[in-house]
């Protein structure tokens, strides 16, 4: 059944599956320059969401629950920018597994997209971290913002590998569910509302997003040596600590998005439609 272009009703789950699959084909076949530039934008957008979140949570007067809630809501800005403004985000692109499972794109196309977009996301996120560092933003609130960055990164770099992996799984399950539900919307308001709750939940729960960490940890590395007092676990903040966090988190994100969302919904809605053009 076809819907009118302008309507108040959301797309059904079956229609979402068709749309996600078709969009996946388009994403996998973007020209390299477009893919890279959109990837850089996405890394910067997620970094801006993390910046907003850290700014709020650096306020020590907030209670634990309120701090986590507000930090999650403000972080949601990152994915809202990706979805509404348009960008290529590695974690969201894990949904390409649906088009792959239906035979519409090849394994090589999926891996190529993930690799190019992940590297571009890192360029955007780390580049933003450098600009934020030069801007003096971490000095706000008497240096509490910078201290919050270092404390967050120290916890991430010293986190046990398996814990980082499972937090990555849970994170990208929620991220891809947010993207999935945003595909149901017909307006900007619909999409924003679909995004805020899953994204704020993963941030509030302390789950691990690989692209956010590409902003948070490099910025903390720039800030750590200038801290007036040592931060517990600060010695773990290094390129080795960054890699120790990033590898299991990326693997967890892949499982959470590609397997628990894309492939599960493929089995539910698209199994038996191999080769169908939605």
Predicted confidence (pLDDT) per residue in 107-133, tens digit: 999 999 999 999 999 999 999 999 999
Q: How confident is the model at residue 271 (pLDDT cuts 50, 70, 90)?
A: confident
Given this structure, which CATH class describes domain 13-270? mainly alpha
Q: Please check the confidence at residue 173 and state whether its pLDDT lies above 60.
A: yes
pLDDT of residue 235: 79
* Mean pLDDT (whole number) for 222-243: 77
Q: How confident is the model at residue 278 (pLDDT cuts 50, 70, 90)?
A: very low
pLDDT of residue 226: 63
- 255 vs 92, 167, 251, 258, CA distance in Å? 12, 11, 6, 6
pLDDT of residue 6: 46
Q: Is 108 helix (H, G, I), strand (E, B) or coil?
A: helix
Of 87, 89, 114, 83, which is closest to residue 100 (Cα–Cα)? 114
Q: Is the four-CA dihedral 226, 230, 231, 234 of positive or negative sign?
A: positive
Q: Is 205 helix (H, G, I), strand (E, B) or coil?
A: coil
How confident is the model over 204-220, as pLDDT tens digits?
A: 999 999 999 999 999 99
**Cβ neighbours of 273 (radius 10 Å):** 15
- Which positions ≥6 away from 144 have C-beta within 8 Å? 58, 59, 60
Q: How confident is the model at residue 2 (pLDDT cuts 50, 70, 90)?
A: very low
Cβ-based burial of 197 (10 A; exposed 0-12, middle 13-18, buried ≥19): middle
- 252 vs 16, 52, 94, 219, 261, CA distance in Å? 24, 25, 11, 23, 13
Helix runs in the chain, H state only: 13-28, 32-57, 64-80, 96-101, 107-135, 144-157, 161-182, 188-204, 210-224, 239-254, 264-265
pLDDT of residue 4: 45
CA 144, CA 60: separation in Å to the nearest integer?
A: 9
* Mean pLDDT (whole number) for 258-267: 96
- Which positions ≥6 away from 101 have C-beta within 8 Å? 262, 263, 266, 270
């Amino acid at each position: 059944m076809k819907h009118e272009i302008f309507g108040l009703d959301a797309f059904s789950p079956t229609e979402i599956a068709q749309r996600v699959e078709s969009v996946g084909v388009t994403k996998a076949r973007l020209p390299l320059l477009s893919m890279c530039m959109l990837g850089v934008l996405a890394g910067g957008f997620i970094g801006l969401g993390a910046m907003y979140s850290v700014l709020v949570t650096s306020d020590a007067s907030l209670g634990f629950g309120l701090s986590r809630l507000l930090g999650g809501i403000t972080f949601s800005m990152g994915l809202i920018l990706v979805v509404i403004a348009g960008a290529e985000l590695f974690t969201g692109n894990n949904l390409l597994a649906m088009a792959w499972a239906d035979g519409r794109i090849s394994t090589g196309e999926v891996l190529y997209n993930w690799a190019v977009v992940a590297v571009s996301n890192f360029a955007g996120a780390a580049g933003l971290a450098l600009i934020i560092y030069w801007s003096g933003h971490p000095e706000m609130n008497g240096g509490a913002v910078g201290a919050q960055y270092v404390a967050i990164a120290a916890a991430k770099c010293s986190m046990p590998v398996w814990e980082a992996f499972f937090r990555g799984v849970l994170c990208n399950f929620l991220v891809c569910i947010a993207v999935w539900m945003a595909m149901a919307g017909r307006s900007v308001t619909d999409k924003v509302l679909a995004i805020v709750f899953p994204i704020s939940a993963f941030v509030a729960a302390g789950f691990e997003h690989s692209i956010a960490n590409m902003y948070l940890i490099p910025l903390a590395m720039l800030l750590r040596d200038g801290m007036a007092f040592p931060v517990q676990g600060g010695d773990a903040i290094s390129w080795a600590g960054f890699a120790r966090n990033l590898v299991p988190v990326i693997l967890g994100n892949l499982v959470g998005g590609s397997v628990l969302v894309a492939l599960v919904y493929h089995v539910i809605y698209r199994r038996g439609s191999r080769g169908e053009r939605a």
